[in-house]
């Protein structure tokens, strides 16, 4: 059994909790929170809720700690800190800061004999693996990543921060013509605007100025200014009915050439369509937690990414079984 702990009980933490039920070789030992533990009720009967302050007492009881905090402020501190006490897995997704984060986690892991797998999920994660496989197999080529259709939490937050906005959700939508151009194998150059559109569903506070808010959204630098954005104002009722889920999806496409004169074109496409972004992410995290537990048992230490994990380590089946039935 792989004994797991969860730090942080938001969407991702709850997803991990549910995913444990689907994996016979996994056991949830405790959920840790920064709040008063008595204020938090979790779904799994008999599993302890404790304060993060008591986490050190669990060193012999937990094989892998799953860090479910946010990438902006939580994980840069938490992952190196808890890697001193436990093997850890996080879903750090600020791509530009991965090298620094990796170095910090690597140091903590090596000084304390742990394995720390960072940036796990679908992007970074499975999409990264698809980019790597694509670049390895088709060195003369281009890769393209499209996200959506799905909810961007960061963009939804940005809209919600606007004065007069009561609630909002933002969907990132890949442009079908761009996808088709890439699938043709023509390796097009695509601008930011050509690849994705953004669609917002906004509930206004009473008396708010819809026109001004629409302008403020569409002109918001970094978030919306480089995109074609549609803003829909809807009632709170409609919002709750149709926009309460967290669906997502995306595509990684590699197109490249082989042959003596590079005469043959190949297109490789990986796509996902998810009812629940945290549901799929946490399920991936559990597979990599299994790999971390196995590597740690083998005496491996240090920071790792999805690139470092042999696929056989991810699944709860024997090598003989997967060779006979999945190969």
Which 13-72 residues touch a copy of itself, going by CB under 8 A? 14-15, 17-19, 21-23, 43
Sign of the alpha-carbon dihedral angle for 201, 240, 72, 103: negative
The number of angstroms, rounded, from the C-alpha of 250 to the middle of its chain's C-alpha atoms is 12
Query: DSSP assignment of 17-84, as one string?
Result: HHHHHT-TTEEEEEEEESS-GGG---SSTT-EEEEGGGGGGGTTT-SEEEE-S-TTTHHHHHHHHHTT
The SS3 of residue 86 is coil
Q: CA 147, 149, 151 angle in degrees (round to 5)?
A: 90
Query: Shortest gap between Cβ of 136 and a copy of itself (angstroms)?
Result: 4
Smallest CA-to-CA distance from 89 within 177, 191, 143, 16 is with: 16
Among 1, 10, 57, 140, binds a copy of itself (CB under 8 A): 140
Nearer to a copy of itself, 132 or 220 (CB): 132
User: Per rule CB under 8 A, is residue 102 in the interface with a copy of itself?
Assistant: yes
Residue 8 DSSP label: -
Cβ proximity to a copy of itself, 86 vs 127, nearer residue:
127
Write down the residue that tokens 């790999």 correspond to: 291
Regarding 279 and contact with a copy of itself (CB under 8 A), the answer is yes
For the window 287-316, what string marks contact with a copy of itself as x by the rule CB under 8 A?
x-----------------xxxxxxxx-xxx
Confirm or reject binding of residue 327 to a copy of itself (CB under 8 A): yes
Does 326 interact with a copy of itself (rule: CB under 8 A)?
Answer: yes
The correct pick among 161, 163, 166, 273 for binding a copy of itself (CB under 8 A) is: 273
267 binds a copy of itself (CB under 8 A): yes
Given the complex with a copy of itself, which of 99 and 207 has the nearer CB atom? 99
The answer to whether residue 133 forms part of the interface with a copy of itself (CB under 8 A) is yes
Tokens of 169: 């959700």
**Does residue 6 belong to the site contacting a copy of itself (CB under 8 A)?**
no
C-alpha 171/C-alpha 36 separation (Å) is 34
- Contact between 139 and a copy of itself by CB under 8 A: the answer reads yes
User: Smaller CB distance to a copy of itself: residue 105 or 231?
Assistant: 105
Task: Quote the CA–CA distance of 55 and 199 in Å, as a whole number.
Answer: 42
Nearest approach in angstroms of CB 193 to a copy of itself is 23
């Amino acid at each position: 059994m792989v004994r797991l702990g969860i730090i942080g009980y938001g969407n991702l933490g709850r997803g991990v909790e549910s995913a444990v039920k689907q994996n016979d070789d996994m056991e949830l030992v405790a959920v840790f929170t920064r709040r008063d533990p008595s204020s938090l009720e979790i779904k799994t009967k008999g599993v302890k809720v404790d304060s993060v302050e008591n986490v050190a007492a669990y060193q012999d009881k937990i094989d892998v700690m799953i860090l479910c905090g946010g990438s902006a402020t939580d994980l840069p501190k938490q992952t190196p800190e808890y890697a001193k006490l436990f093997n850890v897995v996080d879903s750090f997704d600020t791509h530009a800061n991965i090298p620094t984060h990796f170095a910090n986690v690597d140091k903590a892991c090596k000084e304390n004999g742990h394995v720390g797998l960072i940036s796990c999920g679908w992007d970074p994660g499975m999409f990264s693996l698809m980019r790597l496989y694509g670049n390895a197999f088709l060195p003369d080529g281009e890769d393209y990543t499209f996200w959506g259709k799905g909810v961007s939490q960061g963009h939804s937050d940005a809209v919600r921060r606007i004065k007069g906005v009561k609630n909002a959700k933002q969907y990132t939508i890949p442009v079908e013509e761009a996808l088709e151009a890439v699938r043709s194998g023509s390796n097009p150059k695509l601008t930011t605007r050509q690849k994705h559109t953004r669609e917002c569903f906004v509930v206004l506070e009473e008396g708010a100025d819809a026109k001004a808010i629409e302008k403020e959204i569409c002109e918001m630098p970094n978030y919306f200014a480089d995109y074609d954005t549609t803003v829909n104002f809807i009632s709170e009722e409609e919002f709750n009915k149709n926009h309460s889920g967290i669906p997502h999806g995306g595509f990684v496409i590699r197109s490249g050439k082989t042959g003596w004169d590079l005469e043959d074109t190949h297109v490789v496409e990986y796509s996902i369509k998810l009812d629940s972004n945290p549901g799929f992410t946490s399920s991936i995290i559990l597979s990599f937690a299994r790999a971390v537990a196995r590597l740690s048992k083998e005496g491996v230490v240090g920071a790792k990414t999805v690139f470092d994990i042999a696929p056989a380590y991810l699944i709860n089946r024997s090598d003989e079984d997967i060779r006979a039935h999945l190969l």
